[in-house]
Amino acid sequence: MLFLQEAAAQYHERIIWIGTTTGLPDAILHIHAGMFIFLAASLLTGRSFDRLLPLLTVILLAGGNECLDRIHLGNWNWPDTKSDLINTIAWPLAIYATAHLHRIIRSVLKRSVKADRPAEAAAEI
């Protein structure tokens, strides 16, 4: 347990350094971190934004960050934790949902064109 507490303390120091160095508020840093993780996970896994893996990566890492905060602070600070999670996950979730909906609409339109027209018309889509 001591190792976890030391790791959480070092992690917290790095987070404070990032905030101090950039001069950005905590909420903005969470938004940037969520988007960076989402983009990096998409690139590294080869999955598009409408796939669940990049979004799950953001959710898991955001949860891990909050667990490290809890270990470092010794208790949960629920208002801060909820705010941090929402700021980190909101835009990746919105992008995922939009991309996924776009994929569904495209698929439905493609099927409707195939049903209404000959095969060559479907190739235009």
Q: What is the pLDDT along the chain (125 residues), one digit of tens a residue?
A: 788 999 999 999 999 999 999 999 999 999 999 999 999 999 999 999 999 999 999 999 999 999 999 999 999 999 999 999 999 999 999 999 999 999 999 999 988 887 776 655 556 65
Give the Å distances, CA to CA, from 44 to 36, 50, 100, 117.
12, 15, 19, 39
Q: What is the pTM of this model?
A: 0.85
Give the ranges where 23-77 is alpha helix by DSSP (H): 26-45, 52-73
Could you list the residue range(s) of the whole structural domain that residue 26 is in?
2-123
Contact 88, 58 (CB under 8 A): yes
Domains of the chain: total: 1
